[in-house]
Amino acid sequence: MPDQIVVGSDAKGDCRVVVSPGKASAVEVVTGDPHLFERGIREVVGQTLAALAPEGKIKAAVAVTDQGALDYVISARVEAAVRTAFPTVAAIAPNVRRRPSASDAPRRSRLYAPGNSPRILVGIELHGADLVLVDLEDSVPPAEKSAARVLVKHLLAAIDFPNEVWVRINPLTLGGADDVREVLLARPHGVALPKAESRDDVAALAKELAKAEMAAGARIGSTWSMPILETGKGVLHAEEIAAADPRVALVAFGAEDFTRDVGARRTPDALLFARSMIVAAAKAADVQASDTVYGNVDDEAGLAAESKLARDLGFDGKGAIHPAQVPVLHEAFTPSEREMEEARAIVAAAEEAEARGVGAIAIGGKMVDRPVLERARRALKLADRLAGRGKT
Amino acid sequence: MRNALGREVPDKIGSRKVEPYAGAFAVRRTGWKAPRPQKSCVPGENKVLPSIEAAIEATGLQSGMTISFHHSFREGDRVINQVVDACARMGLKDLRLCPTALFGTHAKLVDHIKAGVVSRIEGSMNGPVGDFISQGGKLKEPATLRSHGGRWRAIESGDMQIDVAFIAASQADAYGNANGINGRTPCGPITFCMVDAQHAGKTVVVTNDLAPYPAYPLEIQQGWTDYVVVVDEVGDPEQIASGTLELTKSPARLRIARLAADAVVASPYFKDGLSFQGGAGGVSLAATMYLAEAMEKAKIVGGFVMGGGTRIMVDMLHKGLVRTILDGQAFDPIAVASLGKDPAHVIMNPGLYANADSRGCATYMLDAAFLGATEVDLDFNVNVNTHSDGRLLHGIGGHQDVAAGAKMTVITVPSIRGRLPVILDRVTTVTTPGEVIDVIVTERGLAVNPKRDDLKGALVAAGLPVRDIAEIKEEADRLVRPLGKPVFGDEVLAAIEWRDGTVIDVVRKVERWQ
């Protein structure tokens, strides 16, 4: 047994928890202002320890050095440290009630947030993103993976996300299965699978999700999945991936890894094939398509241009790496007032045609095709779903 | 006794009788203001003295008297320490200090307080000195904190008599005309001390750059100046901007800034002639920038923007987004440089901008203002002086004056800082009453003062996330277990004056914790 387990950090908004197994059970708290904070922190630590060992005391000294961490961060750090020190201790299963989301919920923006950084996670639900995607993969260094998945679980349990919250796990063979088991205890709307390359990858995720849903007491099939296509193979298999499993609600494109994988430079032309392939595959499977992130946070005009391109290609949304990008995405992927007027006119004409028992729909003497009517209906539905969402 | 906000204030603080706060505009003073000792001049007099010690001697400064300073060099000030050190060397005791603000660089004043050189403070008591007093350090009398306008008013009315004013100037002539705009180390306007110079028993200009007569602009004038001292260093302009000019990168803070700017854009004041107060600090700067963007997009030309001047304001002036900058203090070197060059960048003094006992305040011409806070409460009261642990760490600055004047005062605060919720049932100390606060903006949404249903309607119509302040508070409170609460004793550490000279609250010493 190691002398000491250290979890967390001295970064702002975080805390460092040191668990010393074998020592007499005691809790030590160091905080900027003990008068204000010590009692509350002790309460959180005490409750977390009780939840971890309902039968009796954990025989270990626990020391918390606080840097302004919220309660859920402290709980997460304590749980991760205790479970590392005592691998037989079971994970805390929080009681979470999450509003289910529709498979075609608006997903104009999927906002990435690093799952190991309490400071950046604070208030991540407040920026109006349609989908917050908390990341356990690329933004989390290997040594922090296990603590991060516990932190993400506590984040999901503590925070009421106004729209969707998803988790990007690691590839299943690289800790992704553990990620699923842990975070599903806090009922994310969905799980994103990086570097998906085949129908089998999606099926393997579905199997893990089903196991975890069962363990968490959730309905089987209640968690959406999002394969991220970011390799040559993944893009070529887009069709089978998008259609692999009813859990798939959208497929996303990851251009950074894709360009590296195929040896391309990141230009609109170089990405055109992959983008079009993904959109076509998604629409063939009747799921949504979400474009890759735009890496330069300070270049709003560049983001707007790339978002417009993605919208023109048929994408339903796009990734964001900073909350400031969210409004730009929403602008690009929300039907404009003119599009809405057109859509309303088309749907009205269709209803009228139906009422009169006429097969063909015409506006101002011009025939309207079925696919155009479908697109109009989708635009109105999206607008309807967005009506409840405030300005971002 | 209880003042109009229900805050318990003593009848007397030290030797002075307390007038309780009665309402933001309840006190209208009449009568005559205080005179200054008469003095005549004849041709050929020499005002230049070789050292601060010589000036102390010449002015007749003695133990128990009051000395005053301005803060235009901010963290880079070198004059306060030099003067008080000299006083200590000369054996003076029991001095009353009357600075416009103090900074970290003045930490050694704590030693002078311990040694009895300084025994009373009026004006501002922030930073290390405030902390020291909060932690049990003793003054002979409770300190009195005043706003920029309130300090001017108190000196003009005679409520605060200054014996010797020491005025740091980056340039002066031998006859006592002085400014902060020119010279080797310009710091921006030094007009905060104009009132000191005109009302002190003796006025001493301290400079490191003696220019040929006349030194201009004429911020401090020969007719007010008794002596001129030349020293090696008055201040380091590099340190003026310390801490106030970092543009925030935090998404939560940027969201607050965005919402604050959006609120002004949605208000009826967003039209040609829009005049507003910017200010320093990450959120205010970002909000000013967002507002400038919106003005540019809507092709709106603002009226005046009020400083502390910053490069962002100078930029707005150059782009033609505002007609004028009214600037009482400069927050960065670009603002300092602009003051000397651009006639539309106008030097302002606190009498002009904020004095309630005058015939006009520039703040009353403001449409909108962005201000910060350490705490706010459900009644929209604002605390900028103390932290939730009771420690007195900040001065009032222009907070009261701007909030009282602007048609739309917007407080920008995070709903929680670390583990510290910022919205309370009742602020620890009232600096500015809810009566003059219109909107509180947090990252969780905006709360509009119930008195301003008109404004609320406009903000809701614009699709902004307008919420009940209690609801925002509950949401933030849910993130942390309740805090320990200080229980205050009877001992008063400082009085917080409202800008009209009444006492709006007092800071008491923490007795125990519950």
- Per-residue pLDDT tens over the stretch B269-324: 999 999 999 877 788 889 999 999 999 999 999 999 997 888 899 999 999 999 99
Closest chain A CA to residue B250: A120
Under a CB-based contact definition with an 8 Å cutoff, are residues B423 and B442 in contact?
yes
Per residue in A154-178, pLDDT tens? 999 999 999 999 999 999 999 999 9
A/B interface, count of CB pairs below 8 Å: 76
Indicate whether A49 belongs to any domain. yes
ipTM of the complex: 0.90
pLDDT of B53: 98
Asked whether the predicted pLDDT for residue B119 surpasses 90, the reply is yes
Q: Among partner residues A39, A40, A123, which is closest to B252 by beta-carbon distance?
A: A123
Q: How confident is the model at residue A373 (pLDDT cuts 50, 70, 90)?
A: confident
Indicate whether A98 belongs to any domain. no
Closest chain A CA to residue B466: A390
pLDDT, mean of residues B247-259:
87
Q: Are residues A159 and A222 in the same domain?
A: yes
Give the up-direction half-sphere exposure of residue B474: CA atoms within 13 A in the CB hemisphere: 6
Judged by CB atoms closer than 8 Å, whether chains meet at A37 and B443 is answered as: no
Indicate whether A131 belongs to any domain. yes
What gap in Å lies between CA B245 and CA B313, rounded to an integer?
12
Asked whether the predicted pLDDT for residue A390 surpasses 70, the reply is no
Output phi, psi for B158, to 5 deg. Answer: 95, 0
Q: Among partner residues A33, A123, A324, which is closest to B443 by beta-carbon distance?
A: A123
Q: Which residue among A288, A314, A333 closes a domain?
A: A333
Judged by CB atoms closer than 8 Å, whether chains meet at B419 and A68 is answered as: yes
DSSP string, A351-392: HHHHHTT-SSEEETTEEE-HHHHHHHHHHHHHHHHHTTS---
pLDDT, mean of residues A205-217:
96
pLDDT, mean of residues B372-381:
97
Of the candidates B469, B289, B261, which has an alpha carbon nearest to the alpha carbon of residue B382?
B469
Q: Are residues A369 and A235 in the same domain?
A: no
For domain B251-477, is the CATH number 3.40.1080.10? yes
User: CA B392, B396, B397, B402: dihedral to nearest 10 degrees?
Assistant: 150
Per residue in A278-308, pLDDT tens? 999 999 999 999 999 999 999 999 999 999 9
pLDDT of B278: 83
Asked whether the predicted pLDDT for residue A364 surpasses 60, the reply is yes
Closest chain B CA to residue A35: B484
Q: How far is B459 from chain A (nearest CA, A)?
A: 11
Residues of A in contact with B251 (CB under 8 A): 120, 123-124, 127, 322-324
Per residue in A33-50, pLDDT tens? 999 999 999 999 999 999
Overall number of domains in chain A: 3
Cis ω on the peptide bond leading into residue A87 (within 30° of 0)? no
Indicate whether A151 belongs to any domain. yes
Q: Are residues A249 and A194 in the same domain?
A: yes
Judged by CB atoms closer than 8 Å, whether chains meet at B419 and A69 is answered as: yes
pLDDT of A146: 97
Q: Which residues contact B450 (CB under 8 A, 6 or more apart)?
A: none
Map tokens 């103090």 to a residue.
Answer: B102
- Name the fold adopted by B49-239: Glutaconate Coenzyme A-transferase (3.40.1080)
User: Which amino acid, residue A19?
Assistant: V
- Tokens at residue B218, please? 């004429």
Indicate whether A99 belongs to any domain. no
pTM summary value: 0.93
Q: Are residues A320 and A360 in the same domain?
A: no
Q: Which residue among A292, A308, A333 closes a domain?
A: A333
Map tokens 């251009």 to a residue.
Answer: A255
pLDDT, mean of residues B111-132:
91
Judged by CB atoms closer than 8 Å, whether chains meet at A68 and B484 is answered as: no
Per residue in B44-75, pLDDT tens? 999 999 999 999 999 999 999 999 999 999 99
Burial of B231 (0-12, 13-18, 19+ CB in 10 A): middle
b (16+ CB within 10 A) / e for A304-313: bebbebbbeb
pLDDT of B243: 56
Asked whether the predicted pLDDT for residue B382 surpasses 60, the reply is yes
Of the candidates B344, B270, B272, B273, which has an alpha carbon nearest to the alpha carbon of residue B307?
B344
Please indicate if any CB of chain B lies within 8 Å of the CB of A178.
Answer: no
> Residue A43 sits in a domain of what CATH number?
3.30.230.10
pLDDT of B134: 87
pLDDT of A285: 97
Q: How far is A344 from chain B (nearest CA, A)?
A: 23
Judged by CB atoms closer than 8 Å, whether chains meet at B483 and A322 is answered as: no
CATH 3.40.1080.10 domain range(s) in chain B: 49-239, 251-477
- Tokens at residue A181, please? 């088991």
Under a CB-based contact definition with an 8 Å cutoff, are residues B367 and B275 in contact?
yes
pLDDT of A379: 86
Q: Are residues A303 and A341 in the same domain?
A: no
CA terminus-to-terminus distance, chain B:
25
Q: Are residues A315 and A227 in the same domain?
A: yes
What gap in Å lies between CA B164 and CA B37, rounded to an integer?
12
pLDDT of B106: 94
pLDDT, mean of residues A118-122:
93
Give the up-direction half-sphere exposure of residue B38: CA atoms within 13 A in the CB hemisphere: 1
Residues of A in contact with B418 (CB under 8 A): 12-13, 32, 67-69
Q: How far is A42 from chain B (nearest CA, A)?
A: 10
Task: Mutation target for B interface from A122, A163, A325: give the one with most B CBs within 10 A.
Answer: A122
pLDDT of B246: 67
Q: Are residues A361 and A328 in the same domain?
A: no
User: Which residues span the domain enclosing A347?
Assistant: 337-386
Asked whether the predicted pLDDT for residue A1 surpasses 70, the reply is no
